[in-house]
Amino acid sequence: MRTRGAPSKAGEEKAREALLETAQAILRSGAISMSGHGNISVRVAGRDEIVFTSGANLKQLDATSMVRLSLDGRLLEGELAPVAAAVVAMHTAIYQDRPDTGCVIHTHSPYATAFAVANRPIEGWSEAFGIFGLEDGVPLAAYGPRGSELAVANIRSAMTPKTKAVLLANHGVLAWAPQAPMAVQLGVIIEEAAQSAILAGAIGGAKVVPHHLLHASLERHEHFEKAGASRAGS
């Protein structure tokens, strides 16, 4: 059982720093809409708590633009704007269902959101999906008003044991990972795959890599990761 009571200040400060760094990394990546809309949550280490963006625009995020929440969505510290409060439940649902999650990211990255608006999942047509464990692609969660009980239920219904991201129909993208940098990377990989598929539509369409070969890509990647860096003369 996790320790309860006042959170470790060091753990909370580390989570706040990670949230700011994550927002900056998303902006640098370009996997975000022109408006900069999005929200991020980062878990406070050792606690059933998260820090969460308190507004709707990642371009304007600073140290004052975040709040602390429990994993049941209770506001513990700070002031939460209505536009952000509406989507808290879709973040906390991921932490509840996937206890190893350390960061959840929601954006309206343009190409991935195009698939969400078209109500189409992103399939495994990118080798990167194998390497980074997205063998089942990015499923589509049916539409529900943002952050509503229906929307959260649809997210949960769309998830498989291997799911690391879902498309929110007619809305955007939700991705999560044990560490914040990986969550950002997943967002970029998903956006690039969506972009490639849309561009491929002009020349015959994207082709799905067979599932067993995507898994083989993951195994090969893990083999080389385990072997470590190669050095001349060694």
Per-residue pLDDT reduced to its tens digit, 31-45:
999 999 999 999 999
Look at residue 219 in the predicted model and tell me its pLDDT.
86
Residue span of the structural domain in which 177 resides: 9-226
Angle 110-117/180-200 helices, nearest 10 degrees?
Answer: 70
Q: Is residue 64 in a domain?
A: yes
Among candidates 163, 19, 147, 153, which has minimal Cα distance to 90? 147
Here the CATH number for the domain that contains residue 189 is: 3.40.225.10
Look at residue 1 in the predicted model and tell me its pLDDT.
39
Look at residue 3 in the predicted model and tell me its pLDDT.
45
The count of domains in the chain is: 1
Q: Is residue 233 in a domain?
A: no
Look at residue 228 in the predicted model and tell me its pLDDT.
84
pTM: 0.91
Query: Which tokens hold the place of 116?
Result: 């969400």
Residues 205 and 167: their CA atoms lie apart, in Å, by 20
**SS3 for 140?**
strand
Expressed in angstroms, the distance from the first to the final Cα of the chain is: 46
Q: Is residue 167 in a domain?
A: yes
What are the per-10-residue average pLDDT scores of the chain (234 residues)? 55 94 96 95 95 91 93 94 92 96 97 98 93 93 94 96 96 97 97 97 93 87 83 77
Q: Is residue 1 in a domain?
A: no
Look at residue 8 in the predicted model and tell me its pLDDT.
63
Quick one: CA dihedral 160, 134, 98, 144, positive or negative? negative
What pLDDT digit, counting tens, does each position of 57-107 carry?
A: 899 898 899 999 999 999 999 999 998 999 999 999 999 999 999 999 999
